[in-house]
Structure 1
């Protein structure tokens, strides 16, 4: 059992408490909005939904599909009837659960658009689906990097994990890892392409894990999302506080002005807060984070009150006591975003004050805020050729009974069953041994094995392979051990099952496979002589599973036929 990893940040509900020292509730129901937006950049998956099933959720107009074509493992379960209340979104009524026999690592693989920003969101609602009332904790990985720890603290609450990631390849794995603290599960996966590439600037180093995204001054309990937000970001409402006065407008807010490309929903910007005492600053703090963690935040402002010609609202923004931005005057019904652009800030604590300047007649205001931690996501650790070969081997032999999910070599604790890797290069691990014994293999030895150029040990024993020992095994420069106990695999001068019309060719191939890495015809002759002598003195050795050993210096090769 692994040691328990505690969250580096509080769950969303606790973060909200710390943030503004107010308690609020956020339901999963949103207000239906008229009109239809383009969902061509959306992939919305209801995990556990029966295969070949799909639906459009009326509250948002988002179309959901089953996850059955994205993953081979896990079991589908409906949540307990007592949690299946009318206000619960349809996408939370099933889960996909990963009990022990599913393995410790279970992954979804998705196609991405290389070079594009993607918003990736995983959602979890326990709902006592297993009738055990045991709240689990487990790991969530993107690629081979720990994205976050999922800790379920309330069976009725939705836990959201979201990241903005620039794809460096055309696919990525989202993996759920069993850490020994309850059975992992997942409810919903949502992927969105952020087609506006300048959104959250394109020069960011690392991916951005959503820490909070708040609709400030909202008097509703509804989350603002699609269709109000074209990118389907979730804006959680933060309402009243003794030190705030809430203001609002019904007028539409311009979401793009000049060079601003943050595209905050008009509905989010229609509410704001100002200090209860107009002479005082508007103060707030973000939850503390590890000071070594990069942090990015975006403050969104819009003047939503019609000021008279002799009135003004101008203020400075201070961060931890220092002026961070000066003389900000939000434009009427426009959008102004002030963000930590260019690079992340790493201070561990973030105390803001919005302080009106001397000639301002109105106090400062704030409409919305976003904050993100920065993490470097490594999409794959296994060398690309090796990873591709392993997936092709899995597909060729239909190996769904093995826990072969995600990256073959990483994380090391969760590497694929039956393989060992060389981790000398942490960004390009190589597969050095492959054990496919007793895997129900049929047909010929797949040539994809020949693409594993660092392979030193290969075990194909106790299968039903046919044909001959192929030439490509002789070309593997590091292969030292081959175990092969397949009764129908050609190993003599007559090839069985009609896999070749030239039996002598297979005998020659076998000789090459045994001796190629020894680098000398003389060695092959000596090996043949040793084998002949050995068989002479041991005439009773069984024919179907005979075993021979050749030792030359430090190189030991073992072949089973």
Structure 2
């Protein structure tokens, strides 16, 4: 039996969409007292006790989540030091780096932490906690500049910096390639599964790269509002061929929204915008169209000439139904408030369809000049 299982794992290692990258996952539970295996995913989580000698573990109360990795967090002093975790990487390989933050109980006098997050010398973002029970997720897609990266917390303006989890996920060689990756990382601003069948996000094992695909059913202020009349949700159990550049999960592509009255429209706020961005749209025809039926549509807003003038015919663009069509917008400028809409063409019998989308902000890479070992004193950037 052991030989059969081992042979099966070896076989998976030669499957391009899987690449056996799961064995290279790094999952750090910050503040945990021990290592463990997550029973819901089978992924191994490692305590940071052996890699971080600074700060202190804190038990999270009133977390309102069942996941073991959010039962504790690690707090750091609110001083001028930069507190860093060092993660081993393979130079020039692409990775998804994820840091999450769950504060827990309501803050004393209503003051929550606000501090800076860095990847090496590059400012990743400002962590501003405003809800005690919300898990704040920050993701960066990088091509590793060396054989290690530092993820650092510093520069608190209120309360103390803290972190709940830190994850490193290797990506397939083709994924998220850009013309600008020598100079820019991609910070994930939105990754949405449209037509989702529950409010729970989709991630590993449905996504072998463990990206988090947020459900469009999970509402928060000013996110996925102004939905067009006639928008309906559809799904299928049929297999979707997703073997192309970004490999979105089959489960994500098995659901979609359609504009039965000829339009799909949404509005959402994007943190840290306006900015230059790369946007990915994911389509798959998951309805069986009749002989004389067509689904053709254009992007009406925002108007980007190269893209808005192009007609999307999913089955034709993808060379068949139940197959991924994945146009991407390499470098577009998006505002803080993004309103977008797809409108059917006059000769189309069916309204537009959307399965999923990702929006990533370009973050300019700052040169790493200092070797770091746990802490260092730095000036805070504002």
Query: TM-score, length-normalised on structure 1?
Result: 0.57
Q: Among 329, 333, 337, which residue is 2:322 paired with?
A: 333
Q: Deviations over 1:312-344 (max 9, x none)?
A: 111122342355152212131111111113xx2
In the TM superposition, what are the counterparts of 1:62-141 in structure 2 within 5 Å?
62-80=43-61, 82-83=62-63, 85=64, 87-100=65-78, 104-128=81-105, 134-141=111-118
1:363 — aligned with what? 351
CA distance in 1, matches of 2:334, 2:73: 38
Match of 1:298 in 2: 280
Cα distance in 2 between the residues matched to 1:183 and 1:280: 50
The match for 1:380 among 365, 368, 371 is 368
Out of 132, 148, 165, the residue aligned to residue 171 of structure 1 is: 148
Q: Report the more deviating stretch, 266-275 or 223-232.
A: 266-275
Q: Provide closer, same or farther for how the CA distance between residues 130 and 75 of structure 1 changes in structure 2, counting only shifts above 3 A.
A: farther
| Distance of aligned partners of 1:99 and 1:291 in 2 relative to their CA distance in 1, 3 Å threshold | closer
- Aligned counterpart for 2:180 among listed residues 196, 204, 216: 204
Cα distance in 2 between the residues matched to 1:242 and 1:361: 18
Counterpart among 43, 46, 51 of residue 29 in structure 2: 46
Counterparts of 2:123 and 2:341, CA distance in 1: 34
Of Structure 1 and Structure 2, the greater helix share is in 1
What displacement does 1:266 show? Answer: 1.0
> CA, structure 1 residues 124+347, in 2 after alignment: closer, same or farther (shift >3 Å)?
closer
Change (3 A) 1:88 1:186: same
- Structure 1 residues 38 and 381: alpha-carbon distance in aligned structure 2, compared to 1, 3 A threshold: closer
Structure 2 unaligned blocks of 5 or more: 1-17, 219-226, 316-320
Question: Partners of 1:153 and 1:347 in 2: how far apart?
Answer: 25
Q: 2:292 matched to which residue of 1?
A: 310
Structure 1 residues 338-375: Cα deviation after superposition (integer angstroms, max 9, x where no partner): 1113xx21253644321212221111110101001100
Of 351, 372, 375, the match for 1:405: 375
CA contact (8 A) 1:319 1:350 kept: no
- Residue 146 of structure 1 and its aligned partner are, at CA, apart by 1.4
For 2:130 and 2:324, how far apart are their aligned partners in 1?
A: 37
Looking at secondary structure, tell me which structure has more strand per residue: 2
Supply the distance in 1 between the matched residues of 2:38 and 2:271 (Cα, whole angstroms): 36
Q: 3-state DSSP class of the match of 1:336?
A: coil
Distance 1:381 1:213 in 2: 33
Distance 1:152 1:288 in 2: 16
Q: What's the counterpart of residue 256 of structure 2? A: 272
1:440-478 Cα deviation digits (max 9, x unpaired): xxxxxxxxxxxxxxxxxxxxxxxxxxxxxxxxxxxxxxx
The answer to whether the 8 Å contact 1:77/1:129 transfers is: no
Measured after TM superposition, the shift of residue 189 of structure 1 is: 0.4
For the residues of structure 1 that align with 2:28 and 2:136, how far apart are their CA atoms? 16
SS in 2 for 1:298: strand
Is the 8 Å Cα contact of residues 196 and 255 (structure 2) preserved in structure 1? yes
Q: Which residue is equivalent to 2:122?
A: 145
Q: Give the CA deviation at 1:39.
A: 1.5
Please tell me whether the aligned partners of residues 215 and 236 of structure 1 are also in contact (alpha carbons under 8 angstroms).
yes
Aligned residues: 345
Asked if structure 1 preserves the Cα contact closer than 8 Å seen for 2:80 and 2:379, the reply is no
Task: Sort the Cα spacing of 1:153 and 1:350 in 2 relative to 1 into closer, same or farther, 3 A.
Answer: closer
Q: Distance in 2 between matches of 1:156 and 1:171?
A: 32
Deviation string 1:92-149 (CA, Å, 9 cap, x unpaired) is 001111134x763211111111001110000011113987864211111111121111
Point out the more displaced range, 234-243 or 63-72: 234-243
Distance 1:334 1:303, change over 3 A: same
Cα–Cα, structure 1 residues 292 and 238, in superposed 2: closer, same or farther, change >3 Å? closer
Give the drift of 1:49.
0.7
Q: Residues 521-536 of structure 1 correspond to what in structure 2 (within 5 A)?
A: none
The CA distance in 2 between the partners of 1:215 and 1:227, in whole Å, is 16
Provide the aligned C-alpha RMSD in A: 2.6
Query: What does 1:225-236 correspond to in 2, within 5 Å?
Result: 225-236=203-214
User: How big is each residue's C-alpha offset from its partner over 1:355-411, in whole Å with a ceiling of 9 and x where there is no partner?
Assistant: 2122211111101010011001225124xxxx4xxx6xx7xxxxxxxxx626x7xx4
TM-score of the aligned structures, taking structure 2 as reference length: 0.83
CA distance, structure 1, for counterparts of residue 341 and residue 28 of structure 2 = 41
Relative CO higher for 1 or 2, CA cutoff 8 Å, sep ≥ 6? 2
Q: SS state of the match for residue 345, structure 1? A: strand
Which of 199, 216, 233 matches 1:238? 216
Change in 2 beyond 3 A, CA 1:181/1:219: same
Structure 1 290/98 Cα, relative in aligned 2: closer, same or farther at 3 Å? closer
